[in-house]
Amino acid sequence: MGRRRGVWIGMAALALLAFPPQWYPDGVRLTLTRWFGAADYRPLPASQSMNGDGGMAMAPAADGADEGVFCPEDLAGRRAAQEIDGVVIAATPTCAADDPYLIAAAVRGTNNVSADTLNRSGLTPDAVEKGRDLDGDGDPDEIHIRLEVAELNGGSPLSRQPVTRYDIAPGIEPGLWVFAPKLVGMAVENFESQVARYSLRLPSPAIRIEQGDRVRITLENSHYMPHTLHLHGADHGFVDVAGEGNDGVPITSEVPVMPGFARTYELTPRHAGTMFYHCHVQPHVHVQMGLQGLFVIEENRPDNWLQTLNVGAGQVRVRSVASRERYDQEYDLHYLDLDKQLGERIRRHNDPRLITRSMHREYDVTDATQDYFTLNGRSFPYTFRESLVVAEPDEQVKLRVVNGGSKGMALHTHGHKFTVTDLDGVPRPEAARSAQDVVWLATAQRVDLDLSLVNDGRQSYGPGIWLFHDHQNQGVTNDGIGPGGNISAIVDPEYLSESGWPRTRGVSFAPYFTEAYYRKEVPVWEAYAPGLFSDPAPDRWLLGRLLVLCLCLGVLAALVTGWLRRP
């Protein structure tokens, strides 16, 4: 009996001793302080090393050493100014540029370009057909565009990895649906790869037609769900010439286009302006999945050969006559926010019945929050590869902006104030126009902005690398990690390297080009203050005492329950 009591007392004493003093009740601690003074100094745990994590932990501030990673070399020669089949294509100063052959085919029409250009463009011969010049002003007025529907980062019965992959930022591959130009051949870049081919991407292409054109758009539904085409804001009849539904709205106009089927929509718009197009089937889901694009109606001018498709939106490399009259450059800026919890549903199952149930009944958009914020289909840092607005002093730049996202956005520019000239495709009265540095865009709203590079202290404060972004806090993050989201910049050519990467003067971009950073594994200031704000290593002393304490408590529990008693 005496030995039993000895074990009890020993264990209880050891437990008491092991109990970490920093967790004693405050009263006990203060009493002890009165008797013995404060506890001895015990250094806090050292900073955890990043173990070189891609070598970025010690990367010096912006030195351009990793420019090859930030800015892949333009091996296909897409960036240079060039003339293809008589189409003069402006240079793209940024790293990534649209395929100039696709641009040439979209300007001349896939039925009018040389066989060589057509085949380099990847488009089918009927992707953008241009017919007669009806008003005799030197440009075609019969336009027939064919769009397909493609799924990016979808699921597979064979793999847990996404298929037809498209990353909006390092390691971020949300499930997406896009309207796509009609391209010959495979959806991926080659036979060993699951990466989507170059021109298959978010956002759906910006479409450009001329006021008064007789336009037909055939939706070839190559996707496994029903879809339609709705021409938001563009002048179109509720029914077409044949009396068929033409508004793309299942509940009022027509039965949706089923998988494997096609339908042609018609319009002859009477007004110019920046409009929008999107799918109208279960629109609360399909529109935010990416089935939306800019729809630009240009003023009717002589010899107005338009770039009918602007793949990935962005810089317009072949501009309309009206744009060339008034501006030095033009950009299509398509903003779209995405809900991670929606996009991942297309990967959870392969059976379309299960996907449909998951997306249209189990997903509740009224409980949704947006996680990714894209500009022209990418988020920071990839926006710096392809969505910079590169402009020289005194240039006049036209920006056509749409907010395709679910929430409003507060578009803000550093270093400049712009002027809203058109709202939802309608010019604002001169008297109502004034310079602004924040413009609110409701969901589906379009604004045309005049960006003046005249250094007058208001419209521009001079050359630099000036950010423009949604000023709402979530908009500058990738799923809550900043910098991310739709951050891009207005850059003076002086601040741009040959490769197209901006000569920034701040911190290194190396961490932002790692997947780990956006997986929330890297301390945000690690690259330029290594160790200072890192994660601390665990306190082994405290952990040791805790384990001894628990060991003693375990023994005591065994004694209490009689577990140690011999049978």
Partner 1 sequence: MNGGFLLRARRLLAILLALGPGALASAASDMDEHAHHHHVMNWGGVVMNENTDRLPRGCAAVSGDVAVTVHAGRRYAAEVPGQIFGMSQHELAVPPCSRVTVTFVNEDEVRHQWMVHGLPKYLYPAGMFHIEAMGGDERTGTFIVPAEDRTYLIHCDMAQHMEKGMRGQLVVGRGSGDLWAVSGISDAFYRAPYLPGAGYTALLIALALALGFVGARLLRRRWIRREPA
> Which positions touch partner 1 (CB under 8 A)?
72, 75-76, 111-113, 115-116, 118-120, 122, 124-126, 129, 131-132, 140, 142, 148, 150-152, 154-160, 163-164, 182, 184-191, 196-198, 200, 220-224, 258-262, 349-354
246-255 burial: b if 16+ Cβ within 10 Å, else e? bbbbbeebbe
What is the closest distance, in whole angstroms, from the C-beta atom of residue 233 to partner 1 in the complex? 27
What is the closest distance, in whole angstroms, from the C-beta atom of residue 195 to partner 1 in the complex? 8
What is the closest distance, in whole angstroms, from the C-beta atom of residue 154 to partner 1 in the complex? 5
Tokens of 239: 């029914």
Nearer to partner 1, 56 or 149 (CB): 149
**How far apart (Å, rounded) are the C-alpha atoms in residues 125 and 275?**
27
Nearer to partner 1, 351 or 494 (CB): 351
> If we measure between CA atoms, which residue out of 331, 416, 401, 340 comes closest to residue 373?
340
CA contacts within 13 A on the Cβ side of 249:
9
Phi, psi of 90 (to 5 degrees): -70, 155
Nearer to partner 1, 87 or 522 (CB): 87
> If we measure between CA atoms, which residue out of 72, 61, 54 comes closest to residue 527?
61
Query: For the CA atoms of the chain, what is the radius of gyration?
Result: 30
What is the closest distance, in whole angstroms, from the C-beta atom of residue 527 to partner 1 in the complex? 27
> If we measure between CA atoms, which residue out of 198, 147, 142, 195 comes closest to residue 173?
195
SS3 at position 214:
strand
Nearer to partner 1, 148 or 266 (CB): 148
Q: Among the residues of 46-169, which ranges form H helices?
A: 67-70, 100-108, 115-121
Nearer to partner 1, 11 or 102 (CB): 102
Nearer to partner 1, 175 or 485 (CB): 175
**How far apart (Å, rounded) are the C-alpha atoms in residues 439 and 419?**
9
What is the closest distance, in whole angstroms, from the C-beta atom of residue 314 to partner 1 in the complex? 18
Nearer to partner 1, 189 or 539 (CB): 189
Tokens of 400: 């056509």
Nearer to partner 1, 184 or 560 (CB): 184
Question: Residue 88's beta-bridge partner residues?
Answer: 83
What is the closest distance, in whole angstroms, from the C-beta atom of residue 150 to partner 1 in the complex? 4
Tokens of 286: 């399909």
What DSSP state is assigned to residue 155?
A: -
Tokens of 500: 């197209």
**How far apart (Å, rounded) are the C-alpha atoms in residues 206 and 376?**
10
What is the closest distance, in whole angstroms, from the C-beta atom of residue 174 to partner 1 in the complex? 15
**How far apart (Å, rounded) are the C-alpha atoms in residues 294 and 233?**
11
SS3 content of the chain, % helix, strand, coil (to 5): 25, 25, 50
What is the closest distance, in whole angstroms, from the C-beta atom of residue 109 to partner 1 in the complex? 9
What is the closest distance, in whole angstroms, from the C-beta atom of residue 239 to partner 1 in the complex? 21
Whether the Cβ atoms of residue 405 and residue 377 lie closer than 8 Å to each other:
no
* Number of Cβ within a 10 Å radius of residue 373: 29
Nearer to partner 1, 68 or 260 (CB): 260
Does residue 483 have a cis peptide bond before it, meaning omega lies within 30 degrees of 0?
Answer: yes
Nearer to partner 1, 80 or 560 (CB): 80
* Number of Cβ within a 10 Å radius of residue 552: 20
What is the closest distance, in whole angstroms, from the C-beta atom of residue 117 to partner 1 in the complex? 10
What is the closest distance, in whole angstroms, from the C-beta atom of residue 277 to partner 1 in the complex? 19
Q: Which helix or strand (DSSP H or E) is residue 274 part of?
A: strand 273-278
Q: How far is CA 547 from CA 18, 166, 543, 556, 567, in A?
A: 9, 47, 6, 14, 30
Q: Which helix or strand (DSSP H or E) is residue 18 part of?
A: helix 2-18
Q: Which helix or strand (DSSP H or E) is residue 294 part of?
A: strand 292-298
What is the closest distance, in whole angstroms, from the C-beta atom of residue 262 to partner 1 in the complex? 4
Nearer to partner 1, 181 or 233 (CB): 181
Nearer to partner 1, 33 or 161 (CB): 161
What is the closest distance, in whole angstroms, from the C-beta atom of residue 308 to partner 1 in the complex? 16
**How far apart (Å, rounded) are the C-alpha atoms in residues 388 and 391?**
9
Nearer to partner 1, 28 or 184 (CB): 184
